[in-house]
Structure 1
Amino acid sequence: MRHIREVLRLHDSVGISQRAVARSLALAQGTVSKYVNRARRAGLTWPLSPELDEGWASSSIARSPRATTVASCGA
Structure 2
Amino acid sequence: MPYMKNYLLIVTTLGLLSTSTLANVAEHGTLNFVDNNVFIVLSIPMSAFKGVDENKDGKVSIVEFNAHKS
- Taking structure 1 as the reference length, what is the TM-score of the superposition? 0.29
Identify the structure with bigger relative contact order (alpha carbons < 8 Å, sequence gap 6+): 1
Q: Which has the larger radius of gyration?
A: 2
TM-score, structure 2 as length reference? 0.30
Which structure shows the bigger proportion of residues in helix conformation? 1
Structure with the largest fraction of strand: 2
